Structure 1
Amino acid sequence: MASIPRTVADIFGDYCCRRRGLINALTHDVDTFFAQCDSDKDNLCLYGYPDGTWEVTLPSHEVPPVIPDPALGINFARNKMSRDEWLYLVAVHSDSWLLNVAFFYAAYLNKNQRTRLFNLINRLTNVVENVKKWNVVQNTPRIDKSGEASGSNSRIPQKISSDGPSKTTSKIVEDSHMESEEEQEETPCGRCGEVYQKNEFWIACDFCPLWYHGKCVNVTTTMADEIDKYECPLCALKRTKA
């Protein structure tokens, strides 16, 4: 059984992973998600998990539940609204649930720690904003180099250091469809919480959605070039406790 997040960094990491799962459900995996929310089934919930995955399933049978449950019965409204309106409704409930879980874990933190946690979370775009961005991208024709209209979005955002581009992971390529220049600039460091500034060297963890200042995790650009898959301190700690 996974350990319960207790520190600001652990709770924020948990929030980021659950958020990523929910965003994927409502964007990249939206057709699968839509099909699983059969209105003829019982009360279904959309869960985001600490490993970055998602699941449509029944609510917990435990009373009280280990963590707060998401909104019940999201499937019942599916056929009573337009697809986009229904997805936005699910996204709103998903954002509410993410904050609910984060501050459920944060109950034992002090005032300053809770403020720091909220500020970290508030620097990220929420699920609703990402769903809106996804719909805009999907509905906007793209122009490729030959001048032909295209529906793909091939831009790959990178954090740039003074020595050149930092390491880009396959996960970041996948997530690039959801990022804008503004979102890159608001990315918080998973260690210190400061946001990304131009020409800083950052490195992405290959096992969670977090980015870090190289200096915060003692990784230089030379070291990054030699790393096949980077595991951040938070993920390394979780693995040793598993």
Structure 2
Amino acid sequence: MLERGYNPRTVEEVFRDFKGRRTGLIKALTTDVEEFYQQCDPEKENLCLYGLPSEKWEVNLPAEEVPPELPEPALGINFARDGMQEKDWLSLVCVHSDAWLLAVAFYFGSRFGFDKADRKRLFNMMNDLPTVFEVVTGAAKPQQKEKSSVSNHSSNKSKSNSKSRTSETMGKISRPERKGEEEGLDEDEEEEDEEDEHGETLCGACGDNYASDEFWICCDLCEKWFHGKCVKITPAKAEHIKHYKCPSCTSNKKLRPSIEN
């Protein structure tokens, strides 16, 4: 059920609440998309997609009390499920989810008397993260695909190598091609340049940034990078995967025939 009775009171607490709900929504629309799709049965009553502060999600009926304790998400998302292309339907749910996240955050801000400076700081903190729509549709960083392509070029040189990478390895993928241009750089400058190049790479599941100590894997179809933990792939499993398909690409392939029919 929707988590109630949880009232963050500071800017940092509201932002933490925002991030938790946002992560839950992104999971519903990426790694858990097949389950989410099935739960949005058009034969059921008006349903809403909720993101929870605990980074979980649920599809449920709206609150019965008026006015509700929190702003409500878009009502009846399930009715349009079979009347639109799946990609367009998911994109529409993303847009409404982003609007709901902002509504909840500023509801807390208004309820607990945030002044102009606090509201601005809260918005800037939220605006530093890509939207749910940007993460799910792949529009978060246009240069991300280019980075993945460079990584693919390097990995293709050795058929035995998987497209999985630790973040440290990701930083080294394109170095052989750039070495001639950067022979004058010392080690510190090279490391800083690598961090700049890959620091904006975002996980296609949770939307969080690249980190130097995490294992990543790239989807061979959509070419998005994912934290191994977000898609339940370990380095050991990755060694046996020749062509990795992320949960979203896998579920889209399964669902497409039913949509076309």
User: Normalising TM by the smaller chain, what interval?
Assistant: 0.5 to 0.7
CA distance in 1, matches of 2:94, 2:167: 24
In structure 1, the residue matched to 2:29 is 26
Letter in 2 for 1:69: E
In structure 2, the residue matched to 1:78 is 81
**Would you say the 8 A contact 2:21–2:55 is kept in 1?**
yes
Letter in 2 for 1:131: V
CA distance in 1, matches of 2:134, 2:165: 19
CA distance in 2, matches of 1:52, 1:96: 18
**Would you say the 8 A contact 1:156–1:176 is kept in 2?**
no
Name the % identity: 46
In structure 1, the residue matched to 2:42 is 39
* Mapping 1:77-116, distance limit 5 Å: 77-107=80-110, 108-116=113-121
1:154 aligns with 2:203: no
Letter in 1 for 2:130: T
Structure 1 residues 82 and 9: CA distance shift in structure 2, 3 A: same
Where structure 2 has 5 or more consecutive residues not aligned to the other structure, the ranges are 172-187, 192-201, 212-261
SS in structure 1 of the partner of residue 93 of structure 2: helix
CA distance in 1, matches of 2:39, 2:126: 29
Letter in 2 for 1:114: R
Residue 100 of structure 1 and its aligned partner are, at CA, apart by 0.3
Letter in 1 for 2:159: G
- So what's the TM-score if we normalise by structure 1? 0.60
Structure 1 residues 35 and 180: CA distance shift in structure 2, 3 A: closer
**Would you say the 8 A contact 1:8–1:113 is kept in 2?**
yes
* Mapping 1:157-176, distance limit 5 Å: 157=167, 176=203
Residue 3 of structure 1 and its aligned partner are, at CA, apart by 3.6
* Mapping 1:52-63, distance limit 5 Å: 52-63=55-66
**Would you say the 8 A contact 2:25–2:132 is kept in 1?**
yes
Structure 1 residues 82 and 70: CA distance shift in structure 2, 3 A: same
- Of stretches 93-102 and 141-150 in structure 1, the one that deviates more from structure 2 is 141-150
Say what the alpha-carbon RMSD is for the aligned residues: 3.4
Structure 1 residues 40 and 148: CA distance shift in structure 2, 3 A: farther
Where structure 1 has 5 or more consecutive residues not aligned to the other structure, the ranges are 165-174, 186-242
1:129 aligns with 2:139: no
Letter in 2 for 1:28: T
**Would you say the 8 A contact 1:155–1:176 is kept in 2?**
no
For the pair shown, which has the larger CA radius of gyration, 1 or 2?
2
Residue 155 of structure 1 and its aligned partner are, at CA, apart by 3.9
**Would you say the 8 A contact 2:28–2:57 is kept in 1?**
yes
CA distance in 1, matches of 2:48, 2:80: 12
Letter in 2 for 1:120: M
CA distance in 2, matches of 1:105, 1:81: 34
